[in-house]
Amino acid sequence: MPLTIATWNINSVRLRQDLVAKLISEHAPDVVCLQETKCPNDAFPTKIFEKLGYGQIAINGQKGYHGVAVLSRRPLQEVVARPFCDMGDSRHIAVDVQGSTGRSVRIHNFYVPAGGDEPDPAINPKFDHKLRFLDEMIAWFGADTPTVAPADGAIILGDLNIAPLEEDVWSHKKLLKVVSHTPVETDGLERVRKALDWVDVVRRDIPPPEKLYTWWSYRSKDWDAADKGRRLDHVWLTPGLSDACDKVEVLREARGWDRPSDHVPIIVRLDI
DNA sequence: ATGGTGGGCGCCCCA
């Protein structure tokens, strides 16, 4: 039995718990990693997920903003919820999940800061925070490799809020000075990737020049026709684990669901 | 043309 893992910025887990249930009923991923849950831990809607068989739940939430969670129907151990940038933000949780063969993978579920509007750290503290967050990811993954990525393999996934490639945005030229696609961000994200030679399995299987997006703004009148999207959500695997990944899906149709998130889920299948 | 929409929370923050 393969292990399937979904990641989705849900933009309020309480408001969209039925959409998570729809994802579960239609795709039955073993593990669902959520970002922007916007929900304190004691208010997390665990019951609906327990009823669906996803009784293994790890959450790092806060009131009003941010928040990450992992739902699983396979054995799960919470490893750490690491604070970044001394901000008290809930933007990371790491868990170990066991595949049916007994091999366990470590999943780092991230919600990287969006960074505000002005791409200048000197005048925009949110952009400065985003760049410092990337620096901390690089330092952590470089210095603490056995914890971050055990021998059996590890995954970074979630809303990284950066579209790294030219084909990850609707217009490379128009977005070069727009937060999410500026060179300082795409260079920073590439440095994170190189820290452990992570494999971007989504782009391995759906390579450029095909355009690929996971987010479309709510402000666009007709998101599908205009298609002014960005690929802000990612799934990276350590090299040894990437060989076991035999399928990736970006569920574009979820952007058209009733009262949707502005992000869509990505699902990967691991033959472990 | 510098808006537009959507969420949480509470009279405004963030994406």
Contact by Cβ (8 Å): A226, A218: no
Higher model confidence: residue A101 or residue A4?
A4
pLDDT band at A159 (very low <50, low <70, confident <90, very high): very high
Any idea which residue has 């020049």 for tokens?
A209
C-alpha A35/C-alpha A22 separation (Å) is 17
- Per DSSP, the three-state class of A188 is helix
Q: Which amino acid is at A68?
A: V
Enumerate the β-bridge partners of residue A155. A107, A237
Contact by Cβ (8 Å): A186, A162: yes
pTM of the model: 0.97
CA of A219 to C1' of B1 (A): 15
Contact by Cβ (8 Å): A149, A157: no
Tokens describing residue A147: 């914890």
Contact by Cβ (8 Å): A60, A83: no
Query: How wide is the angle at C-alpha A58 spanned by C-alphas A16 and A82, nearest 5°?
Result: 110
Domain that holds residue A207: 3-270
CA distances from A124 to A114, A118, A121 (A): 12, 6, 5
Question: Is any atom of strand B within 7 angstroms of residue A126's beta carbon?
Answer: yes
Residues A43-99: pLDDT tens digits?
999 999 999 999 999 999 999 999 999 999 999 998 899 999 999 999 999 999 999
pLDDT band at A16 (very low <50, low <70, confident <90, very high): very high
Query: Quick one: which H or E segment has residue A167?
Result: none
Residues A238-260: pLDDT tens digits?
999 999 999 999 999 999 999 99
Beta strands A92-98 and A104-111 are: antiparallel
C-alpha A225/C-alpha A223 separation (Å) is 6
Specify the range with the lowest mean pLDDT, choosing from A55-64, A127-136, A137-146, A162-171: A137-146
Average pLDDT over residues A26-54: 98
Q: Which of residues 151-190 of A touch strand B (CB under 7 A)?
A: 161
CA of A135 to C1' of B8 (A): 29
Considering only CA atoms, which residue is closest to the C1' of nucleotide B9? A64
What does the DSSP 8-state code read for residue A24? H
User: What is the count of structural domains for chain A?
Assistant: 1
CATH of the domain at A234: 3.60.10.10
CA of A43 to C1' of B8 (A): 13
Q: Look over chain A and give the mean of its residue pLDDT values, rounded to a whole number.
A: 97
Give the pLDDT score at A267. 98
Give the pLDDT score at A145. 86
Tokens describing residue A85: 């940038």
Q: Which amino acid is at A232?
A: L
